[in-house]
Amino acid sequence: MNLTNYLCPGQPAPDFTATAVYGQEFCTVKLASYRGQYVVLFFYPLDFTFVCPSEVMAFSDRHAEFQALDTIVLGISIDSQYSHLAWIQTDRTLGGVGELAYPLVSDLTRAISTAYQVLDPQQGFALRGLFIIDPAGIIQHLSINSSSVGRSVDETLRILQAIQHTQRHPQEVCPVDWQPGKPAILL
């Protein structure tokens, strides 16, 4: 099977520059500016929907755990920065997400979703793609779910920690269900 036309672990993450909402402010996010840190980049279909706020809020509620692992979290959808701002300004009890601990990136042109190969051309929005990018800008993990299936923050953290462990200890690999503090396998 030839995977040269598909994004895979070990390939450079496609760079992008886009407008985002962080706090209550618009800002410019450039992926390359996060070199030297890990990045969890997750795509979700749309603001003001059903599964999306559960993920967006869960990543925000657990943001301190990602920070402790020297990791930046970026959420991204095809919505405009204005839609993101309205969603952030809407209370969680009213269908919004409230204040978030990380930027929501706007991909209104769908260029980023296309570059990361998560755009559903029939629906016109991104599937639930998740990418873990290492400090050198290399994709170390990716997963793509259908729009109807949410992701696990616990599993994202576990995979991130396993990647960090193997990068710090290149003579080791992490077996199934590996958890920090558990033994790895020596090569």
Distance CA 10, CA 71 (A): 18
In the chain, DSSP assigns E strands to 17-22, 25-30, 38-43, 71-77, 104-106, 119-120, 125-126, 128-133, 139-145, 172-173, 185-186
Q: What is the CA radius of gyration of the chain?
A: 16
Please confirm, yes or no, whether 8 is among the known catalytic residues. no
Residue indicated by tokens 């795509």: 43
Q: Which of 8, 27, 52, 174 is catalytic?
A: 52
Q: Which residues are catalytic?
A: 52
